[in-house]
Amino acid sequence: MHNRKPTRSAAGRWIVHLWREWTTETWRPISPASAKPGPSKWSDAQVTLAWIGHSTVLINFFGVIILTDPVLFPRIGIRLPGFTIGPKRLTAPALSFDELPKIDLVLLSHAHFDHLDLRTLQRFNASTKIITARATSDLLKGTQFSDVTELEWGQSRSVSNAAGEIEITAFPVNHWGARMQRDMYRGYNGYLIQRKERRIIFAGDTAMTENFAALRRHGPIDVAIMSISAYNPWIQSHCTPEQAVQMANAAGARFIMPVHHQTFRLSFE
């Protein structure tokens, strides 16, 4: 799916926004996170989640430690020697690199810079497993990771450690996958995580879609991790908070964790 082409007025506002991000925003301090999770105290006998910022969620799924779309540096965007061209964080991550537990699995929903941040990924242990969308693993060439799996919609992969095994299944969302304008062939996924009759969905980015109702066939969903911003003017590839709730309800989720907000200024809402 493509982002809607903004009007001339919207395009002008966007240019002003980018200019501010790359000039005056340089001197703005980044606010601290409002809460700090304590993953060292989490039990491996249950499922625990914590929002770290943007689309980054730390999950202890019965002892398998998962991190979604990790983005932990002050800026996202195109990396040049000594600096990054792109938006600056509004709020710091809830946990620093040193405060994170050892990550067993990183889930990458798609290749956009605010979801697949190579600078962040390069900080993780080489033994970390990566699951990513179709035609995106080439972006990880030259990194330390040896276990990288691309999943098409409907495909699954099991991931295990000493605590047990979980299953990850990719499902279709309504978004687009290009990292640069010329690579529209790249995939974009939501993910279902399940074990012991417990299930979480991580939707990545998505506009409104009827696809979530099909997730009911897997069984009850405990938590839906849903993006809720960047819909103005990008409503064709992102959803409103109300639409996020509607899709989570369609999946039969008991709870919703709203993400993709209050971290970067990516749109006008």
pLDDT digits 0-9 by tens, 209-240: 999 999 999 999 999 999 999 999 999 999 99
> Residue 13 pLDDT > 90, yes or no?
no
pLDDT digits 0-9 by tens, 248-261: 999 999 999 999 99
Q: For the chain, list the domains and their CATH numbers.
A: 12-259 (3.60.15.10)
Contact 84, 71 (CB under 8 A): no
> Residue 2 pLDDT > 60, yes or no?
no
**Helix segments in the chain, DSSP class H:** 8-22, 118-121, 241-251
Contact 120, 74 (CB under 8 A): no
Express as a percent the part of the chain with pLDDT over 90. Answer: 83
Round to whole Å and give the CA distance between 215 and 98: 35
Q: At 10, is the pLDDT very low, low, confident or very high (cuts 50, 70, 90)?
A: low
Question: How high is the pLDDT of residue 6?
Answer: 45
Cis peptide upstream of residue 70 (ω within 30 degrees of 0): no
pLDDT digits 0-9 by tens, 77-96: 988 888 888 889 999 999 99
Q: If DSSP codes are grouped into helix, strand and coil, which group holds residue 84?
A: strand
Question: How high is the pLDDT of residue 88?
Answer: 93
Nearest to 115 by CA among 234, 205, 224: 205
